Structure 1
Amino acid sequence: MNALLSLLGLSAISAEEKPNFIMLLVDDMGWGDTGFNGHPVIKTPNLDQMAENGLKMNRFYSTNCTCSPSRAAILTGRHNLRLGLTGFMSTPSDENPGTWHLLESEITYAEALQEAGYATAHFGKWHVGYMCPEQSPEHYFTPGMAGFEEWFTSHNVLYTYDPYQALPPGKDEKHLYYDQGKLITLAEGQKRPELRRDDTTILMDRTLDYIERMHEQGRPFAVATWFHHMHGPLSQNPDLLSLYPAGLPADEVKYYSNASSIDIEVGRLRAKLRELGIADNTMILFTSDNGPVGGTQFRDRLNQGESHGGRFVYGFRGSAGPFRGGKYHLGEGGILVPGVIEWPAQLSQPAVTDVPLVQTDYFPTVLEAAGVAMPDDREYDGISWMPLFRGEKLARPRGIAFSSGRQRAYRNDTYKVVSEDKQPEFTRLYNLLDDPYEEKNLVKENPELFESMVKEYEQWEQKALADWQVMLVKDKERKQ
C-alpha cells in the first residue's frame, strides 16, 4: 500500500496552504442523539455550535448499518462490497465475524495524504483488522499498515469510562490499547492514571498533543479520532451526572452523559485549534459509523419528543429521531447519521444541506482539498464535496447503494428501494422527499420505477463484487 506516486498527482500547494483534516467518528450514535438534530434531553452545546457555524448535513449517510463496513468505506472511498465486506469483519462468502480485514492492495486516504507530505494519526477504535498476529494471523492489519504514522488504537470496544477498569466483556487483553503497536496490558494500564479516565478525554489528549506537535513542525495533518462512545459497554463518568436532572432513569443518564463527554472533548478541540491559530484552515467532520441500537429495540422504553411533529423518539440506547429502524437495519434510522462540517476557510457562512451525502465521499473530498489527484486504477463510490463548498450544484453519477448481511437498499435523489430486514429481495419503494419516515410503500403504485431502481442496484452490485475479486488477486500478487 506504499507505492502510490505512480497513481497520485502530488500537489503544488505549499505546506502552509494545505488544509488540515480531523475526522471525529462516534460509535453507534444515532441521528437524533444531538441537540442540533432535536434531542430534547441530551446536552451537546459544542456540537450545536459547530452545526450553527458550519455545514449541517441533514441527509448524511453511513455506508452501512454496522461499523466495520462504514469504517473501511471511510478509509478508502469505496463501498464495502468492493472491499469484500458485508457485516462487521465478515465477507460475502462467510458471514462469521472476524473473517475479514482491509486488503493491503486498497489505498486509504491516510496513505494518499502521507505521500503528499501530511502527518497522519489514528486514535481510538479501529475494527478493520486485528492489532497483533496472535489475534488472527490471517487478518492482521493495523493503522500503521494503513498509512497512519502514529496510532493509539484498540481493535474494538472498551469501557467508555475508565477503559482499564477491567477487560471488555467476552474479550481478552489483546483487545486493549496498542500504542504504536505495543500492547498496554491490563496490569500496566491500571497503574497509569491518565488511562483511568473518560475514554473521550484519553483520546482527545492524544489528539491535541499530536496536533500541537505537528503544528510546531509546520506539517499539515490528517487525524482520525474514532471514539468508542456510544457503543457498549457504556460506563458512567461520575463528573457528568450533574448535567442531567435528578429523577431521570439511571441508564438514560448514563447514555446521555456519554454523549456529553464527546461534546466536551469537541469543545476542547475547537478551543485548541483557535489557540494555535489554525481553526480556519482545518476541516472537522463529526459523524457516526451507523445508527443507534435503541432505534430497533427496547420499544417499551422509548420516550416521545416534540421534534418532527412528535415523531421523535429517544431512550437509554440512543435515538434515530423520527426515522424507521436503527443499527443492523437499512431503514433510514440505521444509516442516517449526524453530519456536521466546520471549516471556516471554505464555509464562511452557516449552511444546511438536504443533498444526500455519504461517508465514502470523505476520501475524494480530502484529496481534492489537499490538491492530490484520485488514483485512476480502481472504481470509487464517493464524490468530492468541494463543489458544494463553493456553492455549486453537486451531482452524483449514480444513486447511493447499501448492502449489509443479506439486506440491500438503494436511493437516488428522491426515491429509495429497500429489502425486508435480513432478506435480499427488494420489496419496498419510498419517496423520501414526501415520505422521509418510510411509511408508504409505493411498489404497487409505481412498479416500473421500482423495477428500474432494482435493476440499477443489481448491475452495480455485480460490478462491485467483481471488483472485490480483482482486488483479491492484486493482494495475492503483492504477497508473492
Structure 2
Amino acid sequence: MNKLLVIIILVFFNWNASVKAQSKTSKPNIIIVFTDDQGYQDVGVYGSPLISTPNLDNMAANGIRFTDFYSASSVCSPSRASLLTGSYPPRVGVPKVLWPNLEGGLSNQELTIADMLKTKNYATACVGKWHLGDQPQYLPTTQGFDYYYGIPFSNDMSVNPKSKVSEDIIFREGMTIDSLRQEKWRGRKVPLMKQDEVIEYPVDQTTLTQRYTSEAVNFITENKDTPFFLYLAHTMPHIPLYTSEGFKGKSKRGLYGDVIEEIDWSVGKILKTLETLGIDDNTLVIYTSDNGPWNLKDGNGGSALPLRGFKFQTYEGGMRVPMIAQWKGEIEAGSVCKEIASTIDFLPTIAHVTDSEMSNKPIDGKNIWKLLSGKKSKSPHKKEGFYYYKESTLEAVRYGDWKLRIVEDKVELYNLANDISEKNNVAENNPKIVKKLRKKINAFDKDLKQNKHQF
C-alpha cells in the first residue's frame, strides 16, 4: 500500500476517534421536535394504519417510545409555555391561547430551557411556531434564543399590524406595507419572521416544513463543535394543512397524511445530519406533539385512537400524545416506557443531563432521566399525580391507573389500565377513590394558585 495513503488513513481514524471522544465528554446537544395537533395514533409505531413514518419508527427502534406521555394542555399556547418552563400553564400565566396584536405572553423573566442552557454557553435556536406572545418583549430572542425563524402564532391567524418589518421584506399575494399596517383580520395570511422582523407576508405555507428543516440543518451544522439547543416547533398539522409538491398525494391518509409524512422526512434529514457530522451519540433528540388532534369530519384532522376525545378536551385524546426519544449509547434501543411522563419534565431532565441550574421558583416537572435511559424506575409523578388543566380550571387528575374528571359537576372515574378509551365511568362504584382524588385536585389547585410565578 502506498505510504502516503497509509498516513492519510491513520490520520483520518485518529481524527474520527478524537471527534468521538470529544463528543462523549462535552455537554450533550438537545433537539426538541414539537408538532402541532398531531394525534396519538398518527405515527407508525403508535398504530397508524395509513400514514407511513419510517424515520420516526426507526427513531423509536434506536431509542425509546412512551405510551403514557402527556402535553400539559390540550391547546397551543399553554402547552408551549409548559414545555419551555417545566410548569403547568396557570403557574406561568399562560392558561389560554394567545392572539396576534393582543397584550400578554410568556414573561421574559421566566426561566426557559433556552435561558437555562445559555448559562452553559449553548447556542440556541427556535425554528417554527412560537405562539407565546408576538409583542417585542415576548418574542423568542428575549426568551434565551439566539436565533428565531418562523411564524409567531398559529397558521390560521392573521398579522400584527404593528410588527417590525425587514427592509428586505417579501410581499406576496398583492400585499403591501400599507395592507400589512391595516387593522384588518386576514385569516390564514400569516407572517414569516426572522429574529424580531417580518421577512415575508403572507408566508408561502406550502414551503414551511421544507424551510424549517433547512434552517434546522444549517443551525446544527454551524454549531457542530459547540453544545446547542434546537427547538423545532412545526406549524403543521395545525389547520389549514399545507405540504410541498413532493409530498402531495403521497399518503394513503390524504392531505393530513401527506403533512405527517413530510414531517417524518424532516426528522430523517435531522437524524442523518447528526450521523454525518458524527454527533448523533452526543445528541438527545425528542419528538412529541403539543396536544391531540382536531375533531374534524373532512379528513383533515388526526386520530387519537384508541383514546377518547380531541384537542380542547381533557379526555386522554386531547392531552396524551406520542413521544419518542433517541440518544445513541445513552438510551437503550427499542425501549418502551409505560410510566406517566409529560412535557413539563423536559426542563428538569435537561438540567440533569447538562448539569444546569434551575430557577428557585416552584415548578411542576420532574427529572425523568431514569425513565428515558431505560433504568427500572417508577414515574416521579406517582406520588403527586398528573393534572389536566383547561385554561385556569383543573378538570382532572391521573393517579396511577385511576383518572378522575369533573366537568360541570359531572363526575367521571376511569381505570386507564383496563379502559384506555374512557368508556366505563365507574365513579358510583368507587366512592372512596373519587373522594381521595377530588381531595387531591382541590389541594393541588389551591397550592398552585397560591404559588404562581410573580415578576
Matched residue SS, 2:46: coil
Alignment of 1:237 with 2:244, yes or no, is yes
The two structures, once aligned, show a CA RMSD in angstroms of: 2.7
Once the two structures are superposed, residues 266-311 of structure 1 have per-residue CA deviations (whole angstroms, 9 ceiling, x without a partner) of 11111100000001111110000000003xx43xx6xxxxxxxxxx
- The residue aligned with 1:310 is none
Please give the alpha-carbon distance, in whole angstroms, between the structure 1 residues aligned to 2:273 and 2:47.
Answer: 27
1:460 alignment partner, one of 435, 444, 455: 444
Q: Is the 8 A contact 2:287 2:323 kept in 1?
A: yes
- Partner of residue 144, structure 1: 141
Is 1:336 the counterpart of 2:307 in the alignment? no
Select between 115-124 and 411-420 the one with higher mean Cα deviation.
411-420
* Residue 404 (1) aligns with residue 390 (2): yes
**Equivalent residue number for residue 346 of structure 1:** 330
The whole-number CA distance in structure 1 between the counterparts of 2:374 and 2:122 is: 24
Deviations along 1:28-73, one digit per CA (max 9) or x if unpaired, are 0010111111111111111111112210001110101111111000
Q: Which residue of 1 aligns with 2:303?
A: 319
Supply the AA of the counterpart residue of 2:40: W
The DSSP-based 3-state class of the residue aligned with 2:363 is coil
Partner of 2:413: 429
| Contact persistence 2:55–2:267 (CA under 8 A) | yes
Q: Once the two structures are aligned, what percentage of the paired residues are identical?
A: 29
Deviation at 1:237, TM superposition (A): 2.7
Match of 1:416 in 2: 403
Judged with a 3 Å threshold, the aligned counterparts in structure 2 of structure 1 residues 51 and 175 are, in CA distance, closer, same or farther, namely same
1:7 aligns with none
Q: Does 1:270 align with 2:267?
A: no
Matches within 5 A, 1:37-76: 37-76=46-85
Question: Higher mean Cα deviation, 322-331 or 454-463?
Answer: 454-463
1:441 paired with 2:445, answer no
Contact 2:101 2:134 in 1 (8 A): no
| 1:457 Cα deviation after fit | 1.3
Q: Is the 8 A contact 1:159 1:234 kept in 2?
A: no
Flag the 1:200–1:432 CA change in 2: closer, same or farther, 3 A.
same
Q: How do 1:3-42 and structure 2 match up within 5 A?
A: 16-42=25-51
**Alignment counterpart, residue 367 of structure 2, candidates 355, 364, 384:** 384
* TM-score scaled by length of structure 1: 0.80
CA distance in 2, matches of 1:390, 1:322: 25
Letter of the 1:62 partner, please give it.
S
Quick check: which has more Rg, 1 or 2?
Answer: 2
**1:88-103 matches, cutoff 5 A:** 88-89=97-98, 98=102, 100-103=104-107
Q: What 5-or-longer segments of structure 1 have no aligned partner?
A: 1-12, 91-95, 133-139, 190-194, 246-251, 302-314, 476-480
Amino acid at match of 1:212: T
Matches within 5 A, 1:269-288: 269-288=270-289
Q: CA deviation at 1:419?
A: 2.3
- DSSP 3-state at the match of 1:461: helix
Is residue 106 from structure 1 mapped to residue 121 from structure 2 by the alignment? no
1:172 to partner: Cα distance = 7.7
Q: CA deviation at 1:154?
A: 1.7
| CA distance, structure 2, for counterparts of residue 316 and residue 413 of structure 1 | 34
The answer (yes or no) to whether the contact 2:132–2:153 under 8 Å persists in 1 is no
Cα 1:372–1:244 shift into 2, 3 Å: closer
Give the AA of the match of 1:451: K
What's 1:228 paired with? Answer: 235
Q: What SS does the corresponding residue of 1:340 show, helix, strand or coil?
A: strand
Secondary structure at the counterpart of residue 381 of structure 1 = coil
Runs of 5+ unmatched residues, structure 2: 1-21, 158-169
